[in-house]
Amino acid sequence: MTGATASVKPGESGAVRRSRPLGPRLRNMSRSFLLTLLATCAVAAFLSPLLQSASLALKSRDQITQLGAPLWPADPQTYDYNGRTLDVYVVTINGEDEQLALVTPGRTSSVFVDPANPDAGTITWQGSWRALPRAWVFSPHLENFGQVWDLLEFPRLLFNTVVIAVVGMIGVLLSCTLVAYGFARFRFPGRNVMFLLLLSTIFLPTIVTTIPTYAVWRALGVIGNTNPAIAWAPLLVPAFFANAYDVFLMRQYFMTLPRELDEAAAMDGAGPFRTLISVIIPQSWPVIIAVGIFHFVYSWNNFFEPLIYLTTQPELQPLAVGLQRFNGIHSREPSLLQAGTLMTLVVPVVVYILFQRVFTRGIVITGVER
Amino acid sequence: MSGLTIAQRTRLAHRPRLRKLKPLERREALWGLLFISPWLVGFVLFTFLPTVATLIFSFTNLNLSSSAPFAFVGLKNYQDLLADPQVWASLRVTFTFAALWLPVTMIVPFMVAVMLNSPSLRGASLFRVLIFLPYVVPFVAGVLIWQNTLLPDTGWLNEGLRAIGIQNPPDWLNDPTWIYPGLVLVGLWGIGGAVIINLAGLRNVPTELYDAAKIDGGGWWAAMRHVTLPLMSPVIFYSLTLGVVEVMQYFLVPFVLKNGTGEPGGTTYFLNLYIYKNFFTFQRMSYGATLAWLLFVVTLLLTLALFASARRWVYYAGERE
Q: Where along chain A do its domains lie?
A: 74-138, 145-368
Question: What letter represents residue A307's amino acid?
Answer: L
How confident is the model at residue B166, as a pLDDT?
83
pLDDT-based confidence at A20, cuts 50/70/90? low
User: B4: which residues sit within 8 A by CB, 6+ positions away?
Assistant: B12
- Give the separation between CA B72 and CA A293, rounded to whole angstroms: 46
User: Does the pLDDT of residue A16 top 50, yes or no?
Assistant: no
Which residues of B fall within a CB distance of 8 Å from A330? none
Query: Are the beta carbons of A231 and A310 closer than 8 angstroms?
Result: yes
Which is nearest to A182 in space by CA: A275, A282, A251?
A251
Number of domains in chain B: 1
pTM equals 0.82
Query: Are the beta carbons of B318 and B101 closer than 8 angstroms?
Result: no
Which of A1, A205, A338 is closest, CB to CB, to B211? A1
pLDDT digits (tens, 9 = 90+) for A290-318: 899 889 989 998 999 999 999 888 889 99
Tell me whether residue B77 is in a domain. Answer: no
pLDDT digits (tens, 9 = 90+) for A266-289: 888 888 999 999 999 998 888 898
Which of B30, B45, B144 is closest, CB to CB, to A337? B144
pLDDT digits (tens, 9 = 90+) for A208-239: 999 899 989 988 989 888 888 899 999 999 99
CB contact under 8 A, A46 and B130: yes
ipTM of the complex: 0.81
The phi and psi torsions of A100 (rounded to 5 degrees) equal: -125, 145
Which is nearest to A126 in space by CA: A92, A97, A174, A79?
A92
Average pLDDT over residues A168-187: 95
pLDDT digits (tens, 9 = 90+) for A26-80: 777 888 888 899 989 989 988 989 988 888 888 877 777 777 777 778 787 778 7
Burial A13-50, CB ≥16 within 10 A → b, else e: eeeeeeeeeeeeeeeeeeeeeebbeebeeebeebeebb
Residue A96, SS3 per DSSP: strand
User: Does the pLDDT of residue A2 top 70, yes or no?
Assistant: no
**Number of Cβ pairs closer than 8 Å across A and B?**
276
How confident is the model at residue A162, as a pLDDT?
94
Tell me whether residue B250 is in a domain. Answer: yes
Which is nearest to B243 in space by CA: B141, B98, B128, B143?
B98
Average pLDDT over residues A116-138: 77
- Give the separation between CA A11 and CA A28, rounded to whole angstroms: 26
Please measure the distance between the N-terminal and C-terminal CA atoms of chain B and give it in whole angstroms: 16
| Topology annotation, domain A145-368 | MetI-like fold (1.10.3720)
Which residues of A fall within a CB distance of 8 Å from B40? 194
Q: Which domain holds residue B188?
A: 84-313
Tell me whether residue B23 is in a domain. Answer: no
Tell me whether residue B269 is in a domain. Answer: yes
How confident is the model at residue A85, as a pLDDT?
80
Which is nearest to A148 in space by CA: A339, A348, A328, A346?
A339
Q: Is the dihedral of CA A276, A280, A282, A284 positive or negative?
A: negative
Tell me whether residue B320 is in a domain. Answer: no
Q: Best residue in A247, A267, A360 to probe B by mutation, most B CBs within 10 Å? A: A360
What are the beta bridge partners of residue B60?
B72
Tell me whether residue B78 is in a domain. Answer: no
CATH label of the domain that carries residue B205? 1.10.3720.10
CB contact under 8 A, A211 and B39: no
Residue ranges, chain B, pLDDT below 70: 1-21, 317-321
How confident is the model at residue B49, as a pLDDT?
94
How confident is the model at residue B200, as a pLDDT?
84
- Give the separation between CA B150 and CA B141, rounded to whole angstroms: 14
| R_g (Cα) of chain A, nearest Å | 32
CB contact under 8 A, B49 and A212: yes
How confident is the model at residue B203, as a pLDDT?
85
Residue A76, SS3 per DSSP: strand
How confident is the model at residue B18, as a pLDDT?
44
Asked if residue B23 has a cis previous peptide bond (ω within 30° of 0), the answer is no
Name the residue in chain A with its Cα closest to that of B38: A241
How confident is the model at residue A22, as a pLDDT?
63
Q: What is the DSSP letter of A278?
A: I
Tell me whether residue B280 is in a domain. Answer: yes
Q: Smallest CA–CA separation between A204 and chain B, in Å?
A: 7
Q: Smallest CA–CA separation between B177 and chain A, in Å?
A: 22
- Would you state the torsion angle of the CA atoms of residues B13, B14, B16, B20, taken in this order, to the nearest 10 degrees? 160
Which residues of B fall within a CB distance of 8 Å from A325? none
How confident is the model at residue A158, as a pLDDT?
92
